[in-house]
Structure 1
Amino acid sequence: MKENRVPFWLTGSALAILFLFPLVWAAFASVRTDTGFGLENYDRLFSATDGVSLRHVLNSVVVSALTVGGTLLVATFGGYAFGRFRFPGRDVLFLLTLAILMVPYATILIALYVLLGWLGLEDSLVGLSLVLVTFQLPFSVFMMRNSFAAVPVELEESARVDGCTSFGTLVRIMLPAVRPGLVTVALFAFLTSWSEFFAPLILLNSTDKFTTTLAVVNMRTASHGSIDYAALEAGVVFMAVPCLVLFALLQRSYVRGFTSGALKG
């Protein structure tokens, strides 16, 4: 029996090495200097005039928090409605929501930039967060709809017999039951908003509004137009650390969100 698992272990190990190699190489390159190893690249990343500052990091934190919060709020109510209520046009509306995935978001960024101008949200972290929430909704609503649909109907019926309203049932019964789905949605929203580059590049104009990704790219050019690869690698590692830590802390709920019925229906 154990011998039959050898190919799986070998395949898993090979895939792990394949995916980990770029991260290990980036970490190695970020501490390599002309004289050996040290933190000079990180010092240059944060101390350079056009480098990464605390403001840039805070901007990324604000955008990520707003995106995660907005995505969870809309996806939870949307997924609950699609998964538990029957109303005219429900399936058509759900399919239209999923159809957004077929539209490359880069093709509508200019239109969204104009729309944000009409709303007075151009060059703002709030406007950027709203756009990122929009991009996250198709997958998030799909995930939450199937998470709610996987919860036994008897739990909801028992709560209503005890006098709970639909909102009370959602808060007290359903949300704890779909926690893995919520974690999965939140993690995806954070990873996307924290590392997003193209949307901030188009929607943000002021340097004091730049996120960390834009700040890292802005300092990529060193003297005589050469690329400062060492500082870039330091920036890559700095941005990857929060993602790796969150994934390590939430991996059980994340995996459960995909395996405990979240993709059924």
Structure 2
Amino acid sequence: MTTQTSPMASPISVPDAPAPIAREQRKRRSNRILPASAWWIVSICVAILFLYPLYVLVTQSLKNPAEAVQTPPTLFPHGLSFDNFAQLGSNAGGLSLLGSLGNSLFVTLLTTAITVVVSTLAGYAFAKLPFRGSRVAFFVTLITFMVPFQAIITPIYLTLKDVGLQNNLFGLTLVLATFNLPFGIFLMRNSFAAIPASIEEAAMIDGASAFGAMRRVMLPNAVPGIVSTALLTFFAAWNDFFATLILITDQSKYTLPVSLGILSAGQNNSVDWGLLEAGVAVTVIPCVVIYLVLQKYYTAGLLSGAVK
């Protein structure tokens, strides 16, 4: 019996991709690279746009008084000087910046607490406890966004004067909380509306009351909205200048922005830019620190309800 042997099979070679296919693959790789590089370029430009004013703020506060008013301004200080920060610690012009700092903390923290509590309760009611006319009430609340604060400052001043709260830090707190409530209610309503109703229903089936379900189940899921409301209110109250200037007449009750504006005013309507920038640099530190710590909650809170 004879056996037929077959020749040894040669290894299979994969032919190179045709030139059109290779060009198409290179084109796809370049299309993936170009959008990413363009995105980085745009992001860097936007970052520079926002960081440059902070750079000017810091460098201006470190210049001596002569260089601070130099025209054209220098890009960086030729000699570092901390005289502006030292002057902030003095009680120049009868103003105590330490007292103004205490006033700002009192007004800002109390305004934030009132706004967060009221916005949370109202937002939960609008989102999960609909009642007759709730949509109209929510729409009216949003309409107040279009009312400029400057247009009604005179009635507010007269009202506070009639109730004995003019030139009073608590009265200023109520005014600031009132004007921060509409946006806070809007944020909290969207935050609660984005939470599935099945979570609350499961808690109530287990025996929780409506308030208990809201406190134990809904609030932990609405933390991003609460943090966003608190941050926006904190920034608005901390940096407020106009309301304090109009409603407060006693210098000992001024907040930091007003005190810095008065302290930096020189003779002949001039402005001590170095001193002013040093004060702004000090006041911006709490805002930057708080924002960096709570950034992830802030971003999530602003996007609450955007995607169902």
Per the normalisation by structure 1, the TM-score is 0.95
Q: State yes or no: 1:45 paired with 2:88.
A: yes
Instruction: State the match for 1:76 in structure 2.
Output: 120
Contact 1:143 1:263 in 2 (8 A): no
Contact 2:96 2:252 in 1 (8 A): no
Indicate how the Cα distance of structure 1 residues 129 and 263 shifts in structure 2: closer, same or farther if over 3 A, else same: farther
Question: 1:146-161 maps to which residues of 2 (within 5 A)?
Answer: 146-161=190-205
The unaligned stretches of length 5 or more in structure 1 are none
Contact 1:200 1:214 in 2 (8 A): yes
Q: State yes or no: 1:193 paired with 2:237.
A: yes
Measured in 1, the distance between the counterparts of 2:208 and 2:36 equals 49
Question: 1:1-265 maps to which residues of 2 (within 5 A)?
Answer: 1-33=32-64, 34=66, 36-50=79-93, 51-223=95-267, 225-259=269-303, 261-263=304-306
- Which has the higher mean CA deviation after the structures are superposed, 95-104 or 34-43? 34-43
**How far off is 1:5 after superposition?**
1.0
**How far off is 1:99 after superposition?**
0.2
Contact 2:100 2:252 in 1 (8 A): yes
Indicate how the Cα distance of structure 1 residues 182 and 246 shifts in structure 2: closer, same or farther if over 3 A, else same: same
Secondary structure at the counterpart of residue 83 of structure 1: helix
Contact 2:264 2:275 in 1 (8 A): yes
Instruction: State the match for 2:12 in structure 1.
Output: none
Contact 1:147 1:263 in 2 (8 A): no
**How far off is 1:223 after superposition?**
4.3
Structure holding more helix per residue? 1
Indicate how the Cα distance of structure 1 residues 96 and 224 shifts in structure 2: closer, same or farther if over 3 A, else same: closer
Q: Structure 1, residues 68-114: CA drift from partner, whole Å, max 9, x if none?
A: 00000110010000000121111000000000001101111111111
Count of matched residue positions in the alignment of Structure 1 and Structure 2: 264
Matched residue type, 2:162 = W
Indicate how the Cα distance of structure 1 residues 153 and 213 shifts in structure 2: closer, same or farther if over 3 A, else same: same
Instruction: Tell me which of the two structures has the higher relative contact order, counting C-alpha pairs closer than 8 angstroms and 6 or more residues apart.
Output: 1
Measured in 2, the distance between the counterparts of 1:183 and 1:90 equals 25
RMSD: 1.5
Identity %: 38
Secondary structure at the counterpart of residue 25 of structure 1: helix
Max Rg structure = 2
